[in-house]
Amino acid sequence: MKNIFSVKNSLHKPFLFFVFLIFYSSIYSQVFPAKNYPKNYFIYPVDARISLAANFGELRSNHYHMGLDCRTNQVVNRPVKAAAGGYIARVTIAPFGFGQAIYINHPNGLTTVYGHLNKFFPALEKYVKEKQYQQELWNVDLKFPPTLFPVTKGQFIAWSGSTGGSQGPHCHFEIRDTKTDKVLNELLFGLPIPDDVPPTIVRLAMYDRSKSTYSQSPELFSLKKGITRLNNGIGEENYTTIQDVIPVNTDKVSFGISANDKQSGSNNPNGIYEAAIYLDGQPLSAFQLDSISYDETRYVNANVDYKTRASGGPYIQYLSRLPGYPQGVYKDINGDGVIQLKDQHIHRVKIVVKDANENTSVLEFKIRKGAVAQAINSNSFSKDEKEFLPGFVNVFENENLEIYLPAATLYDSVKFTHSEKTSVSPQAYSNVFYILSGLVPAQDYFTVRIKINKPLSGDLSNKILMKRSWKGNSDVVKAIKNGDWYSAKFNAFGDFELIADDEPPVINASFHDDANLSHATRIIITPKDNNDAIKNFRAELDGKWLLFTNDKGHLFIYTFDEKCPRGKHELKISIEDEAGNRAERILHFTR
């Protein structure tokens, strides 16, 4: 009888352990519902070695990277192919962003986007150029009916390039929901991109959530990495903190991680797909990077510790939702991911990080509540200080400055601070107002109103710009006049002042007047403006509009074509800056 019992036990324990493992695994796989995107519907869009320079959800300044950056063997002019059958529904050309891009609508309700292109296929290239001349615009946004440019799967549609906001040759590729225009995570569609590499968790960050995230710097913890395993082609990796038990000197605590992901055979650190946090085995909160529109991508500033990054530190992604951020990429499961410690027991925390191929890394550590510092009364502000709260309209007014923040501007509460100093700019017509800090992000545009501090001549009253500066960078916006007050809208804080700009831009050309350009291939115009703010550019050849490209917003380039036959010509260039100052230059040349 004893031997029978021991045999049953030896069978029963492994069985229970196996059941526990299945249950344990299923908990982590069901935080978000499974995706039902079509697999093998789309092909890889570039005729080049399959390799990614960036993936969906990679963290960027003020936005997520919203697609796959497909490498093109480090050269331009690799063939770009339609990822599936459909029709070209849209073409856009712009100095930044996608540069030259094609949008293809597919019969399954999805749209693919191909960006940073060098040149379209001949029929499309010809059609687009005709539209540019009709509209007298280089930067166009053209919509096409289904019958104009149908395409088949694998059909050549363009040459790859590096146009727009690109820093090297590649093709940006997206898959969107045609109806909602939400961008979907392309790695969920079964593209032939091998990946059995689990994400890398670099560091752990801890926050005292009894106060604003903008009034603190996180406590950072180094990690120990375990052994990487492969389980049915899925990579798994475990991490622990070097410190066995982390003391928490607050009643409310939240965590963040620095993490990245790689594809098989590549050392390029890309973005992670999903992360979830558990307390004592129970899921609290998670985020997943999929189905994000361009209207929502600025919310990356609520997914990351903006202050730490803007101060020159690493990217840290919060595992809890900030109070001014709607759920968005987050899923609140038990609360919003902020842990409230009500005892001094040891608690187990687990963070599960996944990529789009289900490769998984798990960080486990323990926390225990320690001595809690006495909270400082957040309402004890000086005369001109107050707390700005997320989800509320926030207003500040004094005799020289007014600020209006819509309810969706802030992600977390912030102690409003401002100061005023005399401007050193000879263009200035106000003091410089330091408003909050460039270390605090803004989701929405807010209004700044400043009162001029010296008389304006009639000619200058309509030449006033509001200038924002922060850490050596600046931008200007044409200010709207209302008596002695001028207003403008911005979506970043910093130093603000009013300046007058009555200085016209300067037009520099790549040739002198009456030049012989018989052997030249192009004309380059380089405008210069004292505030680096060219608003409008127009070129006319012998009285007719001429197409100059403006890739990356610096040089305006015309490449000689049938629009400029042999002979003598007159080129007229007109430029306008942000303040409305205009410059004109007429040049003659022979070709």
Once rounded to an integer, what is the mean pLDDT over residues 297-305?
Answer: 98
Say if residue 4's pLDDT is above 90.
Answer: no
Range in 366-375, 483-492, 556-565 the model is least confident about:
366-375
Give CA–CA dist 297/55, Å, rounded.
Answer: 14
Greater model confidence, 365 or 382: 365
State residue 14 phi and psi, 5-degree precision.
-60, -35
Mean pLDDT of the chain: 93
Asked whether residue 304 carries a pLDDT value surpassing 50, the answer given is: yes
User: Which whole-number Å values give the CA distances from 328 to 228, 445, 508, 575, in the listed order?
Assistant: 32, 19, 47, 42
Give Cβ neighbours of residue 272 (< 8 Å, ≥ 6 apart): 57, 199, 259, 260, 261, 289, 317, 353, 354, 355
Q: What is residue 385's predicted lDDT score, i.e. its pLDDT?
A: 66
More confident residue, 402 or 18: 402
Would you state the pLDDT for residue 379? Answer: 44
Dump strand ranges (E) for 249-345.
Answer: 252-260, 274-279, 282-288, 317-318, 330-332, 339-340
Distances, alpha carbon 459 to alpha carbons 324, 381, 484, in Å? 43, 43, 15
Average pLDDT over residues 108-129: 98
What is the Cα–Cα distance from 331 to 285, expressed in whole angstroms? 6
Find residue 278's DSSP bridge partners: 283, 350
Average pLDDT over residues 271-281: 97
Backbone phi and psi for residue 303, each to the nearest 5 degrees, phi listed first: -85, -25
Q: Residue 5 pLDDT more than 70?
A: no
The pLDDT of residue 362: 97
User: Strand ranges (DSSP E) for 178-327?
Assistant: 183-184, 200-208, 219-221, 223-225, 229-231, 234-248, 252-260, 274-279, 282-288, 317-318
Tokens of 429: 């017509």
How many DSSP H helices and E strands does the chain contain? Answer: 4, 47
Q: What pLDDT does 228 receive?
A: 85
Paired sense of beta strands 360-369 and 234-248, if any:
parallel
Largest pairwise CA distance in the chain: 112
CB 107 within 8 A of CB 171: no
Between vectors from CA 151 to CA 148 and to CA 157, what angle results, nearest 5°?
100
- For residue 300, the surrounding DSSP H or E stretch is helix 300-303
Query: Lowest-confidence range among 16-30, 154-168, 319-333, 572-586?
Result: 16-30
Q: Percent of the chain at pLDDT above 90?
A: 88
pLDDT at 172: 98
Give the pLDDT confidence score for residue 6 in this predicted structure: 35
- Res. 288: pLDDT tops 60: yes
The 3-state DSSP composition of the chain as helix, strand, coil percent (nearest 5) reads 10, 45, 45
Q: 571 forms bridges with which residues in the sheet?
A: 541, 587
Summarize the confidence of residues 123-144 as an average pLDDT. 98
* Cβ atoms < 10 Å from Cβ of 118: 19
Q: Higher pLDDT residue, 326 or 184?
A: 184
The average pLDDT across 405-426 equals 95
**Which CB contacts under 8 angstroms, 24+ apart, belong to 471-478?**
471/438, 475/533, 476/501, 476/531, 476/533, 476/578, 477/578, 478/578, 478/579, 478/580
Residue 64 CA to residue 57 CA, distance in Å, equals 5
Look-up: residue for tokens 């545009």? 445
Residues 309-329: what's their mean pLDDT?
96
Q: How far apart are CA 567 and CA 517, in angstroms?
A: 10
For residue 384, the model assigns a pLDDT of: 53
AA identity, residue 360? T
* Better-predicted residue by pLDDT, 473 or 8: 473
Q: How far is CA 43 from CA 80, 112, 124, 189, in A?
A: 11, 11, 22, 10
Which has more confidence, 591 or 372?
591
Give residue-wise pLDDT tens across range 208-239. Answer: 999 999 999 999 999 999 988 888 888 899 99
Which H helix or E strand runs over 309?
A: helix 306-310
Q: Where are the alpha helices (DSSP H) in 43-144?
A: 122-135
Residue 31 has what pLDDT? 87
575: which strand partners? 537, 583
Whether the predicted pLDDT of 24 surpasses 60: no
Residues 41 and 191: their CA atoms lie apart, in Å, by: 9
Could you give the 3-state DSSP secondary structure of residue 574?
Answer: strand
Q: How confident is the model at residue 15 (pLDDT cuts 50, 70, 90)?
A: very low
Which pLDDT band, with edges at 50, 70 and 90, does 459 fall under? confident
Phi/psi for 522 (5° steps) reads: -160, 165
515-566 pLDDT, tens per residue? 999 999 999 999 999 999 999 999 999 999 999 999 999 999 999 999 999 9
Average pLDDT over residues 132-155: 98
pTM (2 decimals)? 0.92
What is the mean predicted confidence (pLDDT) over 351-377? Answer: 88
> Strands (DSSP E) along 22-120, which ranges?
52-54, 59-60, 63-64, 68-71, 79-81, 86-93, 100-105, 110-115, 117-120
Q: What is the pLDDT of residue 227?
A: 87
